Structure 1
Amino acid sequence: MANSPSGDSMLDRLVRILDSFDANNPSLSVSSLAHRADIPKATMYRLLDELVSHDLLARDNSGNVRLGLRLWELANRSATTQDLRTAAMPFMEDINQLIGQNTQLSVLHQDEVLIIERLSRPGSVVNQANVAGRMPVHRTSMGMALLAFSRPEVIHGFLERHRELMAATHPNFRAEMAEIRRNGFASFDGFIDPETTGAAAPILDESGYQIAVLSVVVPRESDTLQSVALALRTAARGISRALGARS
């Protein structure tokens, strides 16, 4: 696509605009959006008219801007996530009923944990995961389970890009990875919320590498952690078999 006077392409600008929205900023004023996307305000008004006309963005009654429904429609056409969610949903519903806590399905994407599905549960503990939200690999059981069962080149690349961070937060990284692989699940206390424990089990492909991860958050020091881990591992294996049958 054609470059702007500043040298960035129209596609670059579009991606920066869409990336400006997150779980904490689902709606933005035009000024805030222009600042976050690093686009001149006058140019932003022109681009907004086009994006709104295609329903990629939408204006609310206050004049603020939010993501449009067409993005949700397009995202749900993704064969990869659609197949994964379809295969996982019956098992997620079982886990949600059995454990009585919010249940998440996540993948590793661009060095972060991307939540692609979540089943809520009334009365469950605090859980920061939101559908389409991102969470840090190094502070979540989801992320560490995904990393532990990644291909060697994925682990190596992640460590190269985040060496200082991982050295500070996981000084015994290799031992932790070995333990997660040995146990078949990851569990961490209070990394995101001091009152909770996260548990996650990987969904594996035929070669034994992660496709996604299934996880829950339970009260910290819960005496149900081992049974939770067993349920997650059993459900994750079921999802792996279902995906294999589909492919």
Structure 2
Amino acid sequence: MAQSSNSNTSGGRSGVVDRVFAILDCFTSETPKLNLTQLASRSGLPISTTSRILNDLARHDVVERMRDGTYSIGMHLMELAQLARPLLSIRESASPCLDDLNRATGMHVQLAVLDGPTVAIIDRRDGRQKLPIYYHIGDSMPPIPTAVGRLLLAFDSPKLISEVVDNDDFIWPTFDTPRPSITDIHRELTTIRKQRFAIFQPEGAPVHSVAAPITDRMGTVIAAVGIVASADFKLPERVIDLVKSTAVAISRRLAAPPAQRSLPPWEEANAPAQ
């Protein structure tokens, strides 16, 4: 975790949350254990405030107080962190494939998952061209004006599709590009499901994009990989094929069984030292 200082020490819910994370962000792989004085100094909080928050966190097992008086990350926080493992697994499996796609095309590459009615970008690679792309890893985007978003939405539940599309209040980024109708979007989502990839190149848009589905072992779409290119660049069939093959490669990596740990026989492992 990166160290942080917190200037917001006023009361209120957001202030409390900020102070909690000011303390938790002090722990790093290099400094997994810190005492009260160190945590107060690194977080920029008064010792009394730091002590009070640490007592509350320790009561919920978010931090653990060691016998020597230092603190470390507690088991409850570790258990919560396990909930992020599926996303970390997707990102880890996809990483070398994203690198290959980025090198092969020279284009901006993105890895995305659906997060409710929005799209979360969980990894990206910058292309050679300067593009009007202003999001970062972890940011959310509306699904309709992106290829990755449309693809993920197309393979989600009819209920979510209706929630996002049918009220006609979905986010559309610019008046320079004609806003699609509800009928147009439903037709496009049907096409995406049939062809198993999405191309988004609306008239007047500064960028065009292509996306393909990443599936788990059961064949369920769980993520999308895509490329974004300048609208001045016509997307050749070769690029579309590369995006599709990258999605297949990532899906295969996710479906591969985890590497087995090689352990010595139980008797050998528990034999007394000579």
Give your verdict on TM over 0.5.
yes
Counterpart contact for 1:115–1:130, Cα < 8 Å: yes
The partner residue of 2:189 within 164, 177, 183 is 177
Counterpart contact for 1:108–1:143, Cα < 8 Å: yes
Q: CA shift at 1:47, angstroms? A: 5.1
Q: How does 1:152-171 map to 2 (within 5 A)?
A: 154-160=157-163, 162-165=165-168, 169-171=180-182
Matched, 1:88 2:122: no
Q: CA shift at 1:99, angstroms? A: 0.9
Deviations 1:148-206 (A, max 9, x none): 122xxx23234135521268744223321121123321111258x82210111111234
Q: CA shift at 1:125, angstroms? A: 2.7
Paired residue for 1:204?
215
Alpha carbons of structure 1 residues 54 and 28: separation in structure 2 relative to 1, 3 Å: closer
Counterpart contact for 1:138–1:166, Cα < 8 Å: no
Deviations 1:25-46 (A, max 9, x none): xx99749xxxxxxxxx533555
Q: CA shift at 1:49, angstroms? A: 3.5
Matched, 1:234 2:204: no
Structure 1 distance, partners of 2:195, 2:164, is: 27
Alpha carbons of structure 1 residues 76 and 194: separation in structure 2 relative to 1, 3 Å: farther
Paired residue for 1:52?
22
Aligned to 1:164, the other structure's residue is in SS state: coil
Structure 1 distance, partners of 2:186, 2:15, is: 50
Alpha carbons of structure 1 residues 140 and 161: separation in structure 2 relative to 1, 3 Å: closer
Paired residue for 1:146?
152
Counterpart contact for 2:154–2:161, Cα < 8 Å: no
Q: Which has the higher helix share?
A: 1
Structure 1 distance, partners of 2:190, 2:164, is: 21
The partner residue of 1:101 within 100, 103, 107 is 107
Counterpart code for 1:130? H
Paired residue for 2:11?
42
Structure 1 distance, partners of 2:202, 2:43, is: 38
Aligned to 1:182, the other structure's residue is in SS state: helix
| Count of residues in Structure 1 that have an aligned counterpart in Structure 2 | 197
Deviations 1:201-238 (A, max 9, x none): 11123444311000111121533342221110011011
- For structure 1, which runs of at least 5 residues remain unmatched after alignment? 1-26, 32-40, 61-69
| Larger CA Rg, structure 1 vs 2 | 2
- For structure 2, which runs of at least 5 residues remain unmatched after alignment? 27-41, 45-72, 171-178, 259-274
More contact order relative to length (CA 8 Å, sep ≥ 6)? 1
Deviations 1:47-68 (A, max 9, x none): 5444322228x979xxxxxxxx
Paired residue for 1:3?
none
Alpha carbons of structure 1 residues 213 and 129: separation in structure 2 relative to 1, 3 Å: farther
RMSD: 3.4
Alpha carbons of structure 1 residues 59 and 142: separation in structure 2 relative to 1, 3 Å: farther
Paired residue for 2:116?
110
Paired residue for 1:245?
256
Alpha carbons of structure 1 residues 77 and 119: separation in structure 2 relative to 1, 3 Å: farther
TM-score, reference length from structure 2: 0.61
Counterpart contact for 1:159–1:166, Cα < 8 Å: no
Counterpart contact for 2:98–2:125, Cα < 8 Å: yes
Counterpart contact for 1:147–1:155, Cα < 8 Å: no
Structure 1 distance, partners of 2:136, 2:17, is: 28
Counterpart contact for 1:127–1:217, Cα < 8 Å: no
